[in-house]
Structure 1
Amino acid sequence: MIIETDPEFASLAANAVSDGDIHAACLSVAAGIDLSEEIGAAEFRAALAALRAAKQAKGG
């Protein structure tokens, strides 16, 4: 847990963060995230899987 390992947050109790705080943080992160690398990696893995399937279908 971050609170237990990061001295910056050591003075906070786990219950100091509300569900509303977590929700707001999730919305903030989601609004600013750039998933282009993850999408590219997923497309690459899908292409490799398709190539492997095609190779296997041809007996290889």
Structure 2
Amino acid sequence: MHELIRAYLLATLVTHSSNGLNANHIPLHLSQSPAPYGALQGPYSPSESIVWRNFRWH
């Protein structure tokens, strides 16, 4: 799975808002820590991004 993520660093984040489904492409970096699975890191801040403002936390 890590090889696949490294080869295709552009992810599609699908969220649901009052306007329906939204699909946004975001670049991600796979960090090796925490072991053993690592973590996906992206450049977006919840307070600055329209992606996160439309996201419904359930």
- Identify whether the pair has TM-score above 0.5, normalized to the shorter chain: no
Higher normalized strand content (fraction of residues): 2
Normalising by the residue count of structure 2, what TM-score does the alignment of the two structures yield?
0.19
Normalising by the residue count of structure 1, what TM-score does the alignment of the two structures yield?
0.19
Q: Which has the higher contact order (CA 8 A, sep 6+)?
A: 2
Higher normalized helix content (fraction of residues): 1
Structure possessing the higher radius of gyration over alpha carbons? 1
